[in-house]
Amino acid sequence: MNYFVLLKMVPDTVEELEVGPDGKSLDNDRVRLKLSDTDEHALEQALLLKEKCGGRVTVVTLEAPEVDEALFTALAKGADRAVRLSIEQAKLGTVATAQVFVSFLTAGTATLAPATLILSGSQANDDLEGELAPYVAEALRLPYLGVVGGVSLKDGRNEALVLKEFSGGVRGEYELPLPAVLGVQAAEKPPRYVPVAKVRGFTKSGKIETASVRAPARPAVLEVNRMHKPEVAGRAQMLEGSAEEIAGRLADLLAERGII
């Protein structure tokens, strides 16, 4: 089995975000990037499948600040191969990003081997143009499922049994022939932790391959008028004081409201 995990660096929303000078995008000087949350889950799911069924995990990214750390971390977690494509992630919308990944996946090969699973996170926080995995699936004419919460591979057959999340905790079970593309919402286990020392070890001796691919025709598909911060309509009345004081105030409030 060959697992390709497509990773994207996205703005870290723990930090305060500001609009940049062009009024249409983020202030890049102030943005810190991190690996998209669901991409972490996609990587974890690929590693779990490799542990259970064998195969090789290749992680692929575009060029971005701090991306090497994400790649070395993936190698430290158990990925077999890390590839960084020679195109800058910044300023590319999801459609163009998908085109870049597709160029890599199809380079030098007419069709993908049957025993191939392409995984990425179900949705990233900057997917204004839509999600990566379905665009990749359409370009490669492969079956696709998103909001994936579980994957297993059928023995001896190029087929995957996939759980998709709906609502109310209800999930749908699907069968997909391979090769296929999955947008992972949650791996079957939380993403594994690797000690910093282990990642440092890979930073010294691990190998990141670079690959040249054709630049996408258009960086963005949508016409942006402007980017702006939301006005917060309402805001909580904040209670101050010690935990005991706050506890007392809350108990009074709940009694007033007839909750207790």
Which residues in 20-59 contact other proteins (CB under 8 A)?
24, 26
The residues facing 49 across adjacent strands are none
Q: Which stretch binds other proteins (CB under 8 A): 50-58, 75-83, 113-121, 222-230?
A: 222-230
Footprint of other proteins on residues 118-157 (CB under 8 A)? 122, 125-131, 133-135, 137-139, 143-147, 149
SS3 81: strand
Q: Which of 110, 197, 217, 222 binds other proteins (CB under 8 A)?
A: 222
How far apart are alpha carbons 132 and 123 in whole angstroms? Answer: 7
CA distances from 218 to 26, 46, 94, 222, 254 (A): 19, 31, 11, 10, 56
- Closest distance to other proteins from the beta carbon of 162 (Å): 8
Say whether residue 163 binds other proteins (CB under 8 A): yes
- Closest distance to other proteins from the beta carbon of 19 (Å): 7
Footprint of other proteins on residues 223-242 (CB under 8 A)? 223-230, 232-240, 242
Residues listed for the chain: 260
Q: Which of 13, 113, 114, 207 binds other proteins (CB under 8 A)?
A: 13
What tokens does 72 get? 């070395």
- Closest distance to other proteins from the beta carbon of 118 (Å): 14
Q: What is the identity of the amino acid at 31? A: V
Q: Is the dihedral of CA 43, 49, 51, 55 positive or negative?
A: negative
Footprint of other proteins on residues 82-111 (CB under 8 A)? 94-95
The residues facing 85 across adjacent strands are 211
- 90 in Cβ contact with 27 (< 8 Å): no
Q: Which of 157, 177, 196, 209 binds other proteins (CB under 8 A)?
A: 177
